[in-house]
Amino acid sequence: MSGIEAMKTIKLGMCGLGTVGSGTVNLFAQSGGAVNRRAGATLEIAHIGARRDNPLCDTSNIRVSRDIFAVVDDPEIDIVMELVGGTTVAKEIVERAIRAGKHVVTANKALIAEFGTELFELASEHGVALRYEAAVAGGIPIIKALREGLAGNEINWLAGIINGTTNFILTEMGSAKRAFADVLAEAQALGYAEADPTFDVEGIDAAHKLVILAAIAFGIPLNKNAVYTEGVTRITPADLAFAEELGYRIKHLGIAKLTESGVNLRVHPTLVPQSQLLSRVDGVENAVLIDGSAVGPTLYCGAGAGAAPTASAVVADVVDIARELVADQLPQVPALGVDPESIRPLELVSMDEVVTPWYLRLNVYDKAGVMSRLSSILSDHGISIEALIQKPPVRGEATVAVVILTNPAQQANLMSAVAQMEALESTTADIMCIRVENFKA
Amino acid sequence: MSGIEAMKTIKLGMCGLGTVGSGTVNLFAQSGGAVNRRAGATLEIAHIGARRDNPLCDTSNIRVSRDIFAVVDDPEIDIVMELVGGTTVAKEIVERAIRAGKHVVTANKALIAEFGTELFELASEHGVALRYEAAVAGGIPIIKALREGLAGNEINWLAGIINGTTNFILTEMGSAKRAFADVLAEAQALGYAEADPTFDVEGIDAAHKLVILAAIAFGIPLNKNAVYTEGVTRITPADLAFAEELGYRIKHLGIAKLTESGVNLRVHPTLVPQSQLLSRVDGVENAVLIDGSAVGPTLYCGAGAGAAPTASAVVADVVDIARELVADQLPQVPALGVDPESIRPLELVSMDEVVTPWYLRLNVYDKAGVMSRLSSILSDHGISIEALIQKPPVRGEATVAVVILTNPAQQANLMSAVAQMEALESTTADIMCIRVENFKA
């Protein structure tokens, strides 16, 4: 071949041909040449397993099986892309592929969050890679940044907008002053939210992603039961407006923090200062802010979902593995970025002990002495007031809104104060409590 | 050892013990255990070559030679960190280390931008890695993101705040309405700017970094002569205020774009819309915005310089190499992220042909008909006006400021219009011209 060495061909199998699958087929069709240059190999989608075709991509030159497992069992396939989703069939696919000595790329956060530990071990036993960049924050290469790019740092904390659906909903509620249910319906119509939105709006999806990020950040086991999870369903346009007035925005964050008493993992609506770029990441965008001991805070933003962005992450993993295959070598980067032998659980900090400033919105009856009673309850608990908004009474309404921004307070203590406030005759029993994060070291 | 395998020890040599060197020594002293977990090896700084000690770090347990080359020639050393800077001694260190079969990590953008091609080839011949994450944007893992994390994308363009000194100066000039020279003096006092600030304020440092980013993004050779370079010295507080009024901020950007006629590389002050997060990256922070064909725009922000952030990037490279050494394997990721055989120059787009909107600030004599003459010159050139500010005359001043924001115009055409405007008797001959980027696809 006149001095030019032929590039090695690496055969890819794809299980599942939904949004991400069709995006990946299209990516190779459009940018395959560029990807091959990066991989140093010819990457070829050689076999797709899918119960039905997807009109969003052209698979006419690819072998397609209706039996998804035909791909896993195909001896020609070097790398299996698991794009089925869920944790039943997907788990079987991944396990069977690993046992057959194939490398695996998955976009499945639930699978990694729930079964990552055993799957990584299985992959390690069989000397194959199991990669999952697409599982968190779509196309943003956040797993690689945390696992490799920041390897010189001890991670102090990270905080991310890691669910595009809730970020879209909060952004719309804030900018258009529309109610949650109204915006949710629009998000569903636009395809940003599922018919059953529970997974997104209750924070379960974000919790899965946070579990993965925290395991890499702190070298702890994947533990989905460790995450305190609170959704966005109770947030009102009034809260978004008050937050704005106080110099904040409300974002639905996944937060992982290392403290002296252990690790704290939580997903909840959060007031973020407007001066912080994270507060300005809007719509379906995702972003992760990571505080490293050496580098300080670094921020990563981009598309967190969608066919092409997710395919971008899947293909990056495929290229990583292809580079290893070209060099005829074994995977070098541990699945969670640390020597598996060194993974140790850390004490979980109970939410009762977590200290943050708080945003409280109360409805009080417009009577003399209310404010004095509220502030003495806080004062009795040793909680001081950072800012306060009391709006003039609206004609015809029995109550007025009072918003209090507290200084940092331990949650148990704050909740005790809130219970006393709610017990007051002058206050209605529905105080809205939202945590604040100022992201100071 | 009761079943526990001893971790391999990897010996690091350090050439240069300035800011980055001392930061790296301190990083290992503080976080060595965490880094070892990530590397899967015991990393040990075993030999430092430096002409003098640095009181910012403790090297009492490390062998120190006054002859920098003693480190390179030390047979015990596996990885050499070149932290000398410059392109003379540094080049010799890197070459000699590579020839001795050692892996090399460098923080030296000038060295990579000027001599990267030959050094990468030499490293490849000798089967060693030459890594340079610290060369661009300090602690932000931007080389890794571009070379690996976005490997599934064809890069359309990238734009970055890649010099902290100019970003600090522009931020201060804007927020405190202070003149360039004044803020520069403060930056020098704070250690953000060198005694001779030319390298930073004239954009040369940013051009070096842009050359590296563009080579990885487009798979083109490193070519420092390809970059159009314009500094920030002519920008005035008035320009920053007018930009703000128009909904923009002025940032000193390095921009690399792929167009149908080739590639365009430029460093210059740029109006960036306030809606774009990049416009809100302030002070000495760096940020790079990358537009990939699949993922769309992704943004990476963080500390672009300083001892600890730069050390973070150096150590990330060391960990990457250590992981390969532990597995007893050769470097897999090509230095510029693509198969070196496939690196091809692209046609350079001449600046004359570059199309952007423009910000023009003129001083005009306050006479009837001036605005009509200006707008007919633009109109004759087919350039339309997007926005215009004319301030009322200031008592005692002969001229008034007029600011014009144009629609996209080819540079040669715009410059011809500007020359005609400057030739008018009613206009002073010093029109300030600044490019605008809206970052639309």
**Minimal CA–CA distance to A8: which of A41, A53, A49, A47?**
A41
The pLDDT, as a whole number, for residue A327 is 82
The pLDDT, as a whole number, for residue A332 is 80
The pLDDT, as a whole number, for residue B165 is 95
**Euclidean distance between CA atoms B366 and B313, whole angstroms:** 55
Parts of chain B belonging to CATH 3.30.360.10: 142-303
Residue B67 reports pLDDT greater than 60 = yes
**Which residues of chain A have a pLDDT value below 70?**
1-5, 441
Three-state DSSP class for residue B240: helix
Per the CB < 8 A criterion, the answer to whether A362 and A427 are in contact is yes
CATH class in words for B142-303: alpha beta
Q: What is the DSSP letter of B6?
A: P
Q: Counting every residue, how long is chain B?
A: 441
Q: Counting every residue, how long is chain A?
A: 441
Parts of chain A belonging to CATH 3.30.360.10: 142-302
User: What is the CATH T-level fold of the domain A352-436, as seen in this structure?
Assistant: Alpha-Beta Plaits (3.30.70)
Mean pLDDT of B191-217: 94
**At a CB cut-off of 8 Å and minimum separation 6, what does B115 contact?**
B87, B91
**Euclidean distance between CA atoms B414 and B221, whole angstroms:** 31
Count of CB pairs separated by less than 8 Å, A with B: 214
- Report which secondary-structure segment, H or E, holds A299: strand A296-303
One-letter identity of residue A377: I
Q: Could you tell me the pLDDT band of residue B441, with boundaries at 50, 70 and 90?
A: very low
pLDDT in tens, A400-435: 999 999 999 999 999 999 999 999 999 987 999 999
Q: Read out DSSP for B55-111?
A: TTS--TTSEEESSTHHHHT-TT-SEEEE---SSSHHHHHHHHHHHTT-EEEE--HHH
Per the CB < 8 A criterion, the answer to whether B37 and A338 are in contact is yes
The pLDDT, as a whole number, for residue B397 is 86
The pLDDT, as a whole number, for residue A229 is 98
Q: Hey, are the CB atoms on B294 and A37 less than 8 Å from each other? A: no
Mean pLDDT of B61-76: 97
**Strand B155-161 to B103-106 pairing:** unpaired
Distance of residue A338 Cα from the nearest chain B Cα, in angstroms: 4
Tokens of B206: 């940013």
Per the CB < 8 A criterion, the answer to whether A287 and A278 are in contact is yes
Within 8 A of A324 by CB-CB distance, chain B residues are: 332
Parts of chain B belonging to CATH 3.40.50.720: 9-138+307-342
CA distances from A199 to A83, A230, A269 (A): 18, 11, 15
Mean pLDDT of B264-282: 97
Residue that the structure tokens 């083109």 belong to: B220
Per the CB < 8 A criterion, the answer to whether A201 and A165 are in contact is yes
Q: Hey, are the CB atoms on A39 and B151 less than 8 Å from each other? A: yes
**Strand B79-82 to A409-410 pairing:** unpaired
Q: Hey, are the CB atoms on A133 and B148 less than 8 Å from each other? A: no
Percent of chain A with pLDDT over 70: 99
**Minimal CA–CA distance to A133: which of A319, A357, A362?**
A319
Q: What is the DSSP letter of B353?
A: G
Dump strand ranges (E) for A328-437: 355-356, 358-365, 385-390, 399-406, 409-410, 432-436
pLDDT in tens, B22-53: 999 999 999 999 999 999 999 999 999 999 99
- Report which secondary-structure segment, H or E, holds A103: strand A103-106
**Strand A130-131 to A385-390 pairing:** unpaired
Q: Which chain B residue is nearest to residue A141, measuring alpha carbons?
A: B149
The pLDDT, as a whole number, for residue A392 is 86
Of B31, B295, B319, the CB nearest to A154: B31
Q: Which backbone phi and psi does A331 adopt, to 5 degrees?
A: -60, 140
In the Cβ-directed half-sphere of B286, how many Cα atoms lie within 13 Å?
Answer: 28
CATH class in words for A9-138+307-342: alpha beta
What b/e readout covers A96-110, taking b as 16+ CB neighbours within 10 angstroms?
Answer: bbbeeebbbbbbbbb
**Minimal CA–CA distance to A249: which of A268, A283, A287, A276?**
A276
The pLDDT, as a whole number, for residue A5 is 59
Distance of residue B119 Cα from the nearest chain A Cα, in angstroms: 20
**Euclidean distance between CA atoms A195 and A187, whole angstroms:** 10
Per the CB < 8 A criterion, the answer to whether A172 and A178 are in contact is yes
Of A23, A151, A280, the CB nearest to B277: A280
Q: Is A8 a catalytic residue?
A: no
Dump strand ranges (E) for A166-295: 227-229, 248-259, 262-273, 285-292
Q: Please give the model's pTM, rounded to 2 decimal places.
A: 0.96
Per the CB < 8 A criterion, the answer to whether A24 and A315 are in contact is yes
- Residue of A144, A209, A224, A257 marked active site: A209
Rama region for B369: left / alpha / beta (φ>0; ψ in -120 to 50; rest): left
Dump strand ranges (E) for B117-244: 130-131, 155-161, 227-229
User: What is the CATH T-level fold of the domain A142-302, as seen in this structure?
Assistant: Dihydrodipicolinate Reductase; domain 2 (3.30.360)
B289 bridge partner residues: B159, B299
Q: Hey, are the CB atoms on A320 and B141 less than 8 Å from each other? A: no
Per the CB < 8 A criterion, the answer to whether A228 and A266 are in contact is yes
Mean pLDDT of B149-175: 97
Percent of chain B with pLDDT over 90: 86
Parts of chain A belonging to CATH 3.30.70.260: 352-436
CATH class in words for B354-436: alpha beta
Distance of residue A185 Cα from the nearest chain B Cα, in angstroms: 26
Within 8 A of B296 by CB-CB distance, chain A residues are: 139, 302-303, 308-309
Burial class (CB in 10 A: 0-12, 13-18, 19+), B239: buried
CA distances from A116 to A75, A109, B215, B340, B386 (A): 25, 9, 36, 36, 54
Residue B128 reports pLDDT greater than 50 = yes
- Considering only A2-11, A34-43, B345-354, B432-441, which range has the smallest mean pLDDT? A2-11
Taking the C-alpha atoms of A147, A148, A152 and A157 in order, what is their torsion angle to the nearest 10 degrees? -30
pLDDT in tens, B166-182: 999 999 999 999 999 99
Q: What is the CA radius of gyration of chain B?
A: 24
Per the CB < 8 A criterion, the answer to whether B35 and A152 are in contact is yes
**Minimal CA–CA distance to A113: which of A202, A21, A215?**
A215
Probe site for chain A from B19, B136, B147, B312 (most A CB atoms < 10 A): B312
What b/e readout covers A254-283, taking b as 16+ CB neighbours within 10 angstroms?
Answer: bbbbbeeebbbbbbbbbbbbeebbbbbbbe
Tokens of A344: 């140790």
Q: Could you tell me the pLDDT band of residue B326, with boundaries at 50, 70 and 90?
A: confident
Per the CB < 8 A criterion, the answer to whether A430 and A239 are in contact is no
